[in-house]
Amino acid sequence: MTDSGLSRRHLLTRGGLLLGAAVVAPSLLASCSQPANGAATGAGKTTVAGGGKTAVSMQLGWLLDNGQLGEAVAIGKGWYADNGLDVKITPGGPSIDGLTMVAGGRSQIGQISSSPSLMLASSQGIPTKAFAVGVQEHPYAFFSKSDKPVREPKDLIGKTVGTQATGQILLTALLAANKINPADVKVVVVGSDVTPLTTGRVDVWTGWVSNVAALRPLGTDYQVMRLWDAGIQLYANPYYTTDQMLKNDKETLTKFLAASAEGWKYAKENLKESVDFLVKLAPNLNKDDMMAQGQVLLKYEFTDATVKDGWGTMNKDVWQRQLDMWKSLGQFKGKVPSLTDVANFDILDATAGQRPKV
């Protein structure tokens, strides 16, 4: 899961504003409900892997990358195994809808790039809920060159913004929150490459600040306006599961989160070794890139919120503001979900004493 632009991160969906999993027919969900290689069952119960350990499949929305540093550590150090778990990370991809895999029972736990996907899934009746958050402040940002700087939302007026297809809703949200007429901003759909900005085709390009590799062509002469700082506060890399799993096997979720928390604390304090664990799981990754991107991502993984309430924490007010914003933008095509529809705090409560406050 590289950080290069929202089209690759499946911020909302690979098909536009509506979540791919949200329109999956019930028959397809049923066909995914049989356990595979020791994954979850449709009833939200775990199976036993080798050595008597509980098999856990963690389904990603995209490919393995620095967003799974803590999990790579917990696997490599044997901390999941110490908790009686056999955790496997299952990559996503362009033809894999991670939410469908979790909702259908093939994986017990999922991680998706951004919180709106879970809100949209809930609106369409997909029975998944966030139980923890990896990245406390979303790294999505608007990048501009210093000769045409965009430092605050009003600076977008009269500019050409290049954004990925699935990122257009974020620009719409930003403009609405700051009472900017959309007609005053020209939008061009671009990919995950920053070239449109370096060549002057656009004045602004969007992506993740942690995507150091993609940003290198800009050098050091550019401005950054983060979506979070501009008033649209979304979560990145939330962990989610099904209602059935929350009901039937909280113990496994609790063990998973406790070990993951230790893994992320270790990653913060020992990044180089943690990258080695990550590359062992995904040898195609570039160590130097993962080091550089990890250094940036960890700044948003650990914030004042984690100092107060521990790694993985979620804030009810932040979730509610997201729900209110997406409602005001008319994004919910089914019911308007409530906070309890999209997030469950039981596992955080159960691990309150185990999640490091750093």
Q: What is the pLDDT of residues 258-297, one digit of tens each?
A: 999 999 999 999 999 999 999 999 999 999 999 999 999 9
Give the C-alpha distances (Å, rounded to integers) separating 219 from 119, 204, 212, 243. 36, 15, 10, 46
The CATH classification number of 140-226 equals 3.40.190.10
In 3D space, the residue among 238, 294, 241, 286 whose CA is nearest the CA of residue 266 turns out to be: 294
6-137+234-350 against 140-226: fold identical: yes
pLDDT digit string, tens, across residues 173-206: 999 999 999 999 999 999 989 999 999 999 999 9
153/10: higher pLDDT: 153
CATH for 6-137+234-350 (2.40.50.140, 3.40.190.10, 1.20.120.420, 1.20.1370.20): 3.40.190.10
Q: Which residue has the tokens 């974020």?
A: 170
d(CA 22, CA 24): 6
The domain locations on the chain are 6-137+234-350, 140-226
pLDDT value for 165? 87
Express each pLDDT in 210-241 by its tens digit.
Answer: 999 999 999 998 999 999 999 999 999 999 99
Can you give the pLDDT at residue 38?
39
pTM: 0.86
d(CA 120, CA 114): 11
List the 204-208 sheet strands across, edge first.
186-189, 160-163, 204-208, 140-145, 222-226
Q: Would the pLDDT of 309 be above 90?
A: yes
Average pLDDT over residues 26-32: 30
pLDDT at 332: 94
